Amino acid sequence: MPELPEVEVTRLSFADRIKDAQIVSVRMGKPLRWPLGCDVDLLHGRWVRGVRRRGKYLLLDLDEGLLLLHLGMSGSLAFSDATSAPGAHDHFDMVTTQGTLRLHDPRRFGAVVFAAEQTSSVVQKLLGHLGVEPLTEAFELRAFHAGLRTRSAPIKQVLLAGDLVVGVGNIYASEALFMAGIRPTTRASKIGLERAGRLHRAIQDVLRRAVQQGGSTLRDFSNAQGQTGYFQLEAMVYGRENQPCRTCGTPIQSIRQGQRATYFCPQCQKP
């Protein structure tokens, strides 16, 4: 699944190019996770004023209303001046005066949803429960630590929940916990302020580095210009089961947490 860095990389790859474009036409393919929420004709003639990100959602601000896009499990966006005929897995085309934005989603867990305004109920339903953005000043250490103290679940699961801090998905949670020296099975409530500080810094460092590296391409992720990411090549633990830790040489272990694979070094990461 594309995580926060991949979504941010996607945003950066087309936001400037689509800004101030006028929508010429919209085509919907097979049904996605949620319905568009309006007739496609309603979007014709509207202007794209900018592209924001909230967690793993992209928000296209229009002169009237906004579109919320989610890439789901296997989705990717492409923005091109010359777009070919849609394929079997191309389920959304938005033709604008500056190019065509296309959603390719083989598993159809992604979504494109229209909202008349930021305060619409559908926006609150999709975004209202999301936690603090980790790459902003709002991600404050003491508030983060206070939130951890109220959670009895394993720290890896707390990070994935997204209601305390948003967007720290499976890959980057494993990497941040390694950088902070914290075992993923440690109860969040047992993490003191010093270790919370290390984790706070690690989350920001890992996510920033991933964005710089274009995200992680494990299967078929690419940005809106077709470029793949390279962060996976420097991962310390993720996907490295039984390989030696890059720090101490101990074999990396893998366990299942909430039906997701978790990777860690039993020597470098303490309970």
The residues annotated as belonging to the active site are: 2-3, 56, 260
Give 167's contacts (C-beta < 8 A, 6+ positions apart): 3, 4, 7, 55, 56, 133, 134, 207
Q: How many CB atoms lie within 10 A of CB 164?
A: 19
3-state secondary structure of 70: strand
How many H-runs (helices) and E-runs (strands) does the chain carry?
6, 10
CA distance 65 to 46: 9
The residue among 57, 60, 48 whose CA lies nearest residue 2 is 57
Place of tokens 């995200």: 215
Other beta carbons within 10 angstroms of residue 143's beta carbon come to: 14
Task: Reduce the DSSP state of residue 125 to 3 states and report it.
Answer: helix
Sign of CA dihedral 213, 219, 222, 228: positive
